Amino acid sequence: MKVLGLVLPVLLLLGTPAMAVELKGQNIDGQKLPAKAYYYATGGVYKVQVSFHNKRAIIYFADGNQITIKLNQQVITDSNDIEGFGKLGQYPVNNTFNVGLVYSNDWPGSSSGQLQQSNPLEGFWKISLE
């Protein structure tokens, strides 16, 4: 009985179909599309490529770096207004948790000794497909 209690939830999770990101009724998961990405924290606009996977977007920068963000919406109604959240060095696991490295100038042993104030817009991205 205990085994059934452990196996049944796993089977339900595995059996749940993954929802693809849609634009104008079309599945766009897995396609690499040209776009511009606006990073709210810095005000920077970057010419990028983006691919979608379920409720995530991977933003590919020209220098070879990439970031995975969690999208605010799964059905895209406006290709110029796709918003999501993700920090460099972090990978969103689910709605609550991210896994990865945290970049900070205040590592133990550093000489700054100052408390850093967090930027409430850090991690917010806006994508516009071209």
CB of 125 closer than 8 Å to CB of 84: yes
CA distance 50 to 83: 13
* 96 is a domain residue: yes
Above 90 in pLDDT, residue 108? no
End-to-end CA distance of the chain: 54
Give the DSSP H/E element, type plus range, for residue 19: none
Above 60 in pLDDT, residue 40? yes
* 1 is a domain residue: no
- Domain count along the chain: 1
Q: What's the predicted TM-score (pTM) here?
A: 0.67
> Tokens 């969690």 — which residue?
70
For residue 106, the tally of other CB atoms under 10 A from its CB is 10
* 49 is a domain residue: yes
* 82 is a domain residue: yes
pLDDT the model gives residue 97 = 55
Range of 74's domain?
Answer: 16-106+119-129
**Angle at the Cα of 75 from the Cα atoms of 128 and 85, rounded to 5 degrees:** 55
